[in-house]
Amino acid sequence: MKDNKRGRRLTWRSGLTGVLLPMALATSAQTPLRWNTQPVPSMPAATLQPAARILPTAPASIPAYLPPVEEVMAPSSDFNVRQFEAIAQELVANQRVPGLAMAIVQGGRVLSARGYGITDVGNAEPVDAHTVFRLASLSKAFAGTVTGLLVNEGSLRWDSRVADYMPSLQFSDPGAAQQLTVAEVLSQRVGLTHNAYDRELESNVDYNTLVQKLAYAPMKCAPGECYSYQNVAFSLVGNVVYGASGQFFSEAVTRRIFKPLGMNDASYGLEGIEASPSWARPHVRAGGGWRSLTPKPTYYRVAPAAGVNASASDMAQWLLAQSGHRPDVLPAPLLATLHAPVVATPGETRGSSWRRQRLNAAGYGIGWRIYDYAGHRVIFHGGAVQGYRGAIALLPQRDLGVAILWNGESSLPSGLLPTILDRAIGLPAQRWLDVDPFPDVLYAEGESNEPSRAHLPHADKRGGAQTSSANANPR
Phi/psi for 190 (5° steps) reads -70, -35
How does pLDDT run across 275-290, given as a tens digit for each residue?
999 999 999 999 889 9
pLDDT score recorded for residue 437: 55
The helices-and-strands tally (H runs, E runs) of the chain is 17, 19
Q: What pLDDT digit, counting tens, does each position of 411-459 carry? A: 999 999 999 999 999 999 899 997 755 443 332 233 333 333 333 333 3
Q: Work out the pLDDT band at 384, boundaries 50, 70, 90.
A: very high
Beta strands in 279-424 (DSSP E): 283-286, 289-292, 308-310, 343-344, 359-364, 369-373, 376-385, 388-395, 400-406
- Residue 396 — very low, low, confident or very high, per pLDDT cuts 50/70/90? very high
All domains in the chain, ordered by first residue:
81-141+265-471 (3.40.710.10)
Mean pLDDT for the chain overall = 82
pLDDT at 71: 83
Tell me the C-alpha distance between 204 and 331, whole Å: 38
Those residues whose C-beta lies under 8 Å from the C-beta of residue 243, and which sit 6 or more positions away, are: 164, 165, 166
Would the pLDDT of 65 be above 80?
Answer: no
What's the rounded Cα separation, in Å, for the pair 251 and 242? 9
Name the pLDDT band for 464 (thresholds 50, 70, 90).
very low
**pTM (2 d.p.):** 0.82
Cα dihedral value 164, 168, 173, 174, nearest 10 = 80
- The tens digit of pLDDT for each residue in 228-272 reads 999 999 999 999 999 999 999 999 999 999 999 999 999 999 999
Supply the pLDDT for residue 8.
Answer: 35
Q: Residues 337, 62: contact at Cβ < 8 Å?
A: yes
Q: What does the pLDDT read at residue 128?
A: 98
Q: Is the pLDDT of residue 27 over 50?
A: no
Q: Is the pLDDT of residue 140 over 50?
A: yes
**Would you place residue 69 in the very low, low, confident or very high pLDDT band (cuts 50, 70, 90)?**
low
Q: Does 12 score more than 50 pLDDT?
A: no
Residue 13 has pLDDT above 70, yes or no: no
